[in-house]
Amino acid sequence: MSDLRLRVLRRYKELLYMGRDYPQGYVFFRDRLHRAFKSKAGLTDHAQIERQLAFTDYIEREIEALYQLRKYRTIKRNYYADER
């Protein structure tokens, strides 16, 4: 397998792993991720594939931000519930 293909598969697996705690459920996340990767399966130009890999980096950061926001809101609700 080419190096580029291995990078795409690794990114797919990383995003699947990150999707375990997705707010709308793992099945929802897995189906959407599979659909997104399958829609780009026909790409052959290395520059386009690199661009899509960069986009997955952006998606990963967005998922991390979502999880951090959820954690912050939970902590805020637990510790500052009496101040309302």
Q: Total structural domains in the chain?
A: 1
**pLDDT value at residue 81:** 74
CA–CA separation, 67 and 62 (whole Å):
9
Q: What is the mean pLDDT of the chain?
A: 92
Give every CB contact of residue 19 below 8 A, 6+ residues apart in sequence: 26, 29, 30, 33, 63
**pLDDT value at residue 49:** 94
Question: What is the pTM assigned to this prediction?
Answer: 0.82
Full domain range(s) for residue 43? 3-83
Q: How confident is the model over 25-61, as pLDDT tens digits?
A: 999 999 999 999 999 999 999 999 999 999 999 999 9
Tell me how crowded residue 16 is: count the other CB atoms within 10 A of its CB. Answer: 15
